Amino acid sequence: MAYLCSFPAHKEVALDVATGNGQVASQLSEYFDKVYATDISENQLQNAIALPNVVYSLQPAETTNFENAQFDLVTVAQAIHWFKFDIFYKEIYRILKRDGIFAVLGYGLFSTNEDSDKILRHYYYDIVGPYWDAERSYLDEMYQTIPFPFDEIEVQPFENNFIWTFEQLIGYLETWSATQHYKNKNHQNPVGLIYEDLKQSWARNDRKVKFPLLLRIGKKSGLDL
């Protein structure tokens, strides 16, 4: 987060769109005087991280009640692929200061040891592949194919590394929307189709997990949308 927050010229006010439980907003609060955070889920906002300089509100990403040119930084993490791009970007141009920064964050498909990766890729592409929402393709393409009407700033690559138990790995697969869609359609948990092979593979390998982080940063171009 320190890297991202090094780009705005001023650190007075930031906005985190589709904040969920406020994870990004809480990190921004360490660098900005005030942080606003929005989401369309009232349940998420009720359970968001409470901090004295973070203000949460129930609002859609494409239409907000913020003032013109209000923010030094606007972020959206792991959610932009759900938005109506044209409407959303017009709103960002409206609420972002002239020298403000817009940042898209996310993470792609994780990787691990070669043996387990074969099983996991089979699960991702072949077993639950047909059950992913169409918007998932933007993440598979590392957010490089989303519209991005900004003067883009070159960024350095990042990744997150973890050591996971087998239970953590299975728990993560269970959170995938494609896993849930498969369950609803077939009345069967698709994780069971790879469970034993994956368990054996996980037990004999290093249990390291690597997530590529997706980051695109830009400034408003000379033309209004």
- Give per-residue pLDDT as tens, 175-191: 999 999 999 999 999 99
pLDDT above 90: residue 163: yes
Q: To the nearest whole number, what is the mean pLDDT of the chain? A: 96
Confidence band for 221, pLDDT divided at 50, 70 and 90: confident
User: Is pLDDT of 225 > 70?
Assistant: no
Q: Is 69 within the bounds of a domain?
A: yes
Report if residue 42 sits inside a domain: yes
Q: Does residue 215 fall inside a structural domain?
A: no
Residue 151 lies in a domain: no
Total residues belonging to the chain: 225
With bands split at pLDDT 50, 70 and 90, how would you rate the model's confidence at 59? very high
Q: Average pLDDT in the 115-127 region?
A: 98
- The stretch 34-60 carries a mean pLDDT of 96
Is pLDDT of 198 > 80? yes
| Residue among 161, 220, 171 nearest 195 (CA) | 171
The domain that holds 39 is classified in CATH as: 3.40.50.150
Q: Is the pLDDT of residue 32 over 70?
A: yes
Helix, strand, or coil (residue 51):
coil
Q: How far apart are CA 66 and CA 92, in angstroms?
A: 10
**Residue 223, pLDDT score:** 63
- The answer to whether position 95 is within a domain reads yes
Residue 158 in any domain: the answer is no
Contact predicate 14/38, CB 8 Å: no
77 lies in some domain: yes
Which pLDDT belongs to residue 154? 95
Separation between Cα atoms, residue 219 and residue 97, nearest integer Å: 9
- Mean pLDDT value across residues 113-121: 97
Domain of residue 20, residue span: 1-107
Q: Considering the domain boundaries, does residue 41 fall inside one?
A: yes
Number of structural domains the chain divides into: 1
124 φ/ψ angles, rounded to the nearest 5 degrees = -65, -45
